[in-house]
Amino acid sequence: MCRKWGGGPLLVAEFAHEVSFTGAEHITTFSSSEWAERGFCKQCGTHLFYRLKQERHYAIPVGLLDSSDWTFTEQIFIDQKPDFYAFSNNTNMLTEEEVFAQHSNKS
């Protein structure tokens, strides 16, 4: 879903707490599943976040943030990646099953 949403790999910074936005009146959300929703700008459609509803875990595209001091540490849904994605970073790689198990263990 993320690849279709953004047209390519979704590179995000993760936040495990409530996040606030300036101009929140310009943000709308789409409930993309029972457990998650996606936020975007009502005016221009820019993707702003993906968040888990119960945990308030946010994934925010790194291109939206001023900092560039990021470390690429994890790839998720690795079992669904297209053959033409081949990142050279040594990262933790999680399958879809492992991602869902990780989040279901937190409840």
pTM of the model: 0.76
At residue 4, the pLDDT reads 66
DSSP 69-107: -----EEESGGG--TT----S--EEE-HHHHHHHHHTT-
Could you count the other beta carbons within 10 Å of the beta carbon of residue 38?
Answer: 20
Q: What is the CATH number of domain 1-66?
A: 2.170.150.70
pLDDT at position 106, please?
56
Locate 92 and state its tokens.
């933790």
Q: Where are the domains of the chain?
A: 1-66, 71-107
| Each residue's pLDDT tens digit, 43-100 | 998 899 999 888 778 999 998 888 878 888 899 889 988 888 888 889 999 998 998 8
Q: What whole-number distance in Å separates Cα of residue 21 and Cα of residue 92?
A: 30
User: Pairing relation of β-strands 57-61 and 27-31?
Assistant: unpaired
Condensed to tens digits (0 to 9), the pLDDT of residues 6-20 reads: 677 888 888 888 888
Dist. CA 57–CA 49, nearest whole Å: 10
Band of pLDDT at residue 105, cut at 50, 70 and 90? low
DSSP 68: -
